[in-house]
Amino acid sequence: MIPVGLSIDLRHGDIMPARHYDEPVVLWRDAQGIAHAWEDRCPHRGVRLSLGFMRNDRLTCQYHGWQFDRDGHCRVIPAHPSLNPPATIRTRVYEVVEKAGMLWVDFANRGARAAIAPAQGNWYGVRSLAIRAPENETRASLVLEEGQWRLSADRLLALHTPQVGITMVHMAVSDESARLKAAQWLTHLRDTLEEIVC
Ligand code: FES
pLDDT in tens, 27-72: 999 999 999 999 999 999 999 999 999 999 999 999 999 999 999 9
Q: How confident is the model at residue 109 (pLDDT cuts 50, 70, 90)?
A: low
Cα dist from 32 to 55, 66, 76, 100, 103, whole Å: 14, 21, 21, 20, 16
Q: How confident is the model at residue 144 (pLDDT cuts 50, 70, 90)?
A: confident
166-169, Cβ contacts within 8 angstroms, sequence gap of 24 or more: 166/130, 166/131, 166/132, 166/133, 167/130, 167/131, 167/133, 167/134, 167/135, 167/138, 168/4, 168/128, 168/129, 168/130, 168/131, 169/128, 169/129, 169/131, 169/138, 169/142
Closest ligand 1 atom to 62 CA: 2
* Distance between Cα 48 and ligand 1 center (Å): 9
Looking at every residue in the chain, the average pLDDT score rounds to 93
CA dihedral over 124, 126, 130, 131, signed as positive or negative = negative
Closest ligand 1 atom to 52 CA: 2
* Distance between Cα 20 and ligand 1 center (Å): 23
Closest CA to 143 of 124, 123, 157, 127: 157
pLDDT in tens, 23-37: 999 999 999 999 999
Res. 82: pLDDT tops 90: yes
The residue with greater pLDDT, 124 or 22, is: 124
Closest ligand 1 atom to 43 CA: 2
* Distance between Cα 68 and ligand 1 center (Å): 11
* Distance between Cα 41 and ligand 1 center (Å): 9
Res. 164: pLDDT tops 70: yes
Q: How confident is the model at residue 88 (pLDDT cuts 50, 70, 90)?
A: very high
Per-residue model confidence (pLDDT) at position 114: 65
